[in-house]
Structure formats: C-alpha cells, structure tokens
Homo-oligomer: A and B are copies of this chain.
Amino acid sequence: MPTCEDGFFEYLSSIDCSDVEVYAIPEGYVVFPKVPLMRIEGPVAVIQLLETPFLSLVNYASLVTTNAARHRLVAGKSKNLLEFGLRRAQGPDGGISASRYSYMGGFDATSNVAAGRLFGIPIRGTHSHAFVSSFMGLDEITDKALTSSDGSSKCEDFVSLVQNWLIKIQDSSSLRGTFGETSQSELAAFTSYALAFPNSFLALVDTYDVMRSGVPNFCAVALALNDMGYKAVGIRLDSGDLAYLSVETRKFFHVIEKDFGVVGFGKMNITASNDLNEETIDALNKQGHEVDAFGIGTYLVTCYAQAALGCVFKLVEINKQPRIKLSEDVTKVSIPCKKKCYRLYGKEGYPLVDIMTGEDEPGPKIGERLLCRHPFIESKRAYVVPQHVEELLRCYWPGNSSTSRQELPSLHETRSRCIQHLERMRPDHMRRLNPTPYKVSVSAKLYDFIHFLWLNEAPVGELQ
C-alpha cells in the first residue's frame, strides 16, 4: 500500500536549494551553547529536509574537533599529537571524519592514509606488531646490502653490522647485565625495516619486552644506521607503564650517546600509545615522562568521554512570526526569532560575551555601553563596553539572494584559525577543572520578546 501520494515524489524531484540561505559561524571558531551554529532560511519543507544532513554533518565534526583541542590542551604545545583511531571509529567512514577534525582541533598527523590523500593531513605511523612477529630470525634477510646516506660507500652485510653493535652494547660497561639475549625475531624485523627505510626507522619496541629486547635491538640497528650516515627516528611504546618505560628508555639512549659518542642519540624520539586520553596524559604529566609524541586512537575518535554532541535544529520564525519551543527543562527552551549574533571583545583582547539580537536591531558598537542579559534568568545582566565587535553568522550559501558568499578556507587555514581562537580565550574559561562559564546573552529587546512569547504560549499550571 502506498504511504504517500505520487505527487510527493514529483515535488521532491522538483525542489532545490536556490531559495535557501545558509549562515554559519566560521568553522574553527570557539562556540558556546545557545548561540546558533547555523541559521537556515527558506521554504519550510525544503529546510526540514536539510535538518538531518546538517545535524549529522555538524554534530560529530564539532565533537571530535573539540575533543582533539582538549587533548592538545592537556598534552601541551610542544608534543606531537598523532591520531591513530581508524580501526575504532564508528561506521565504515567514521575514521575519515575523525582524522579530518582531529587535525582541525590541533593534532599534527594521522595514521589514516586515505585522510592524508583526501585532505593533505601529514601521515605518521609505525610498523605493526605482526610485522615483528612475522620474522623468525636474521637468516630470513636475503638482501643485506645498504648504501650509505651520501652514496659514497656500501655496506655489503648490514646484518653483521647490526649484530656487532648489539654485542658492543651488551658489553658496554654501563649497560652490562641490564639485558641478556634479545628476541631474534624482533632484531630481524627491525633490521629488515631499516634496510627498506633507512631514513625513517621508527621501531615498535614492545612486542616481546621493552627494556630487555626492544630498546637494545633498536639501538643496535640505529647505531648501524648511524655508521652509514642515517639518523634513526625513534621508538614507539604501545603497552605497559608508559611513564616508567619512557624514562628508562631515555636513560638508555643517553648512555648510548655517552658511551659511543653519538651526539644527539639521547634526544631520540619516543612515541607512546595505548588507550591514551586526557586523563592518562594528565597523569603522565604529573608523574613525569620522556614521551615526545602521543598516538591517540579510541578515546579521541569515538569521543569516549562524551560520545555525542546534542545539537538540535529549531524553528525560530515562520512567515515573519517568531516561534518558540517550550520545555519542562529550561535549557531546552529555544530562543525565538531570526537573530544576529555577535562576539564582544574586551580591551585585553579576550572575548567577553556573545550576544544575540533580533535581526533588525542595530548591532553593538565599539566603545558604546550595551546591556547584555541572560536569556532566561531575569537577575543576570551586565553592561559591556566592547573594544572590538565580531559578527558571528556569515553567509556560506546565498541561494538566489544577492548576499555575498564567504569563501571556504582550506583545512590548514581552518586549523590555524581554530588554534588561534582557542589561544585567544581567557585562560580561566579553558581550565579543565571548574572553568569559568563563558557568558552568552541576549539584547534587552530580545529578552523582553522571549518572555512575552513564553507567557503567551505556555498554558498556566495549577499546583494540586
């Protein structure tokens, strides 16, 4: 039985977005609850068809960008942050969005090669544990020759060079007795990897035992590469006590630098991964560690701490009539009317408050005192004298109207903007524990109008 008339499908095939206008806060801006991220204007039936696509595009993107920015905040500016979440992302292409928006939120690179190709995000990663365990021993390596970095010489048996270095490390006075026989499977894997990629040797050292096999094996290969003029990149820890293991590994590297006179070996890169999140990074910071780069997957891309952002799409005006959605829960009451939104900055350059006004109200002016009211609580209000005023909603889709369209910046530009806007916030708004809430307000006129509508729409209750 048909559930709707054929005419509906004809209608659907006839419509387009030429009568629609889309305004939005530029991507990468810091945003706050109640201030609309987008304002969509046009025929109500067409607009309703846009509801789910827009929410689906905005909700997760904003969530994971925010999550990435939070991870950056706790890790600090000096660390490299790598997004390693592809296999844990939700849905077959959830990982693509995750990589893109993690980068926007301040990550440096991704292990997702497709996202690298699509968006130009730098790619980072290491070989797998399976790569290590796929080797049995050094006799599996058949092509043992390595040409030096400058092309001037060739080592015919790089495998023996590695083995000799391992013996020297074992016999060095400072390290003697700290490890015994290392895994030959692992040594073969590292050597094979270095032969293929002498310029980017980064070894995953925890397949068998970090301090008794992985790190000594890595150092033997790195020293052999050093003989040939190559500089190893570093190691990755993917299990165990990352604070302890990173500190012990750093000590080992320093001993190598000192004992064998290889300048800079102590500064070798240490990457850590394994279910990292804001809390574990914060704990590592408090405990002390020697990690240079964090690889963050599951907790980043699934936004484990809060897996959804509750953006909604509300009708605020139709045929010039303002509309309001009431609710038992005041935080769910929508703010009616087609609105303009502004960010007001103080003399120190920090944003002070966001304010929403009716479409036809004059905008805030620099140096002029303006009353900013809490949208719902009568007693909460403040006068503000802005030193700088920024209109937040810009036109990104003018449809057939004559409004000029904002250009879409590149992902790299949006990322820079996001980092810059985050840095511009007053620090107390950004602290992890008990941040000062950033104020979102409405004009006096809009306040009066909201409360007029509210009283008109809400049936009067009677306590019984």
* Interface positions of A from 123 to 137, Cβ below 8 Å from B: 128-131, 133-134, 136
Q: Please, could you name 14 A-B residue pairs with CB atoms under 8 Å apart, sorted by A?
A: A48-B128, A59-B88, A60-B89, A89-B91, A90-B303, A90-B307, A92-B93, A129-B325, A130-B314, A130-B325, A208-B457, A208-B459, A239-B327, A302-B307
Contact with B along A1-12 (1 / 0, CB 8 A): 001000000000
Indicate if the CB atoms of A323 and B134 lie closer than 8 Å. Answer: yes
A contact residues, range: 35 or more
Q: Please, which residue of chain B has its CB at the minimum distance from the CB of A312?
A: B87
Chain B residues positioned under 8 Å from A60 (CB to CB): 89-91, 94
A304 vs B63: C-alpha distance in the bound complex, in angstroms?
Answer: 13
Copies held by the complex? 2
Contacts of A44 in B (CB 8 A): 130, 134
Nearest 4 pairs between A and B by C-beta? A91-B94, A130-B315, A302-B307, A55-B87
Does A247 have its Cβ within 8 Å of any Cβ on chain B?
no
| Known A90-B90, A133-B323; further 5 A-B contacts with Cβ < 8 A | A55-B88, A88-B310, A208-B458, A302-B302, A304-B308
Does A82 sit at the interface, judged by CB under 8 A?
A: no
Tell me if A188 is interfacial: C-beta within 8 Å of chain B: no
Q: Which residues between 317 and 333 of chain A lie within 8 Å of chain B, taking CB atoms?
A: 318-319, 321, 323-329, 332
Complex interface: chain B residues within 8 A of A97 (CB): 90-92
> Which one, B183, B304, B318, contacts A134 given CB within 8 A?
B318
Digitize A35-59: 1 where CB-to-B-CB distance is under 8 Å, 0 elsewhere: 0000000001000100110011101
Task: Tell yes or no: A207 within 8 A of B by CB.
Answer: yes
SS class of chain A's interface: helix, strand, loop or mixed? loop
Q: How far is the CB of A274 from chain B (nearest CB, A)?
A: 10
Q: A residues within 8 Å of B by Cβ?
A: 3, 44, 48, 51-52, 55-57, 59-60, 63-64, 86-98, 128-131, 133-134, 136, 179-183, 185, 200, 206-209, 212-213, 239-241, 298, 302-304, 307-311, 313-315, 318-319, 321, 323-329, 332, 457-461
Do A179 and B459 touch (CB < 8 A)? yes
Cβ-defined contact, A324 with B91, below 8 A: no
Chain B minimum-CB-distance residue to A44? B134
B179 touches A326 (CB 8 A): no
Contacts of A207 in B (CB 8 A): 325-326
**C-alpha spacing A398/B172, complex, angstroms:** 53
Residues of B within 8 A of A324 (CB): 133
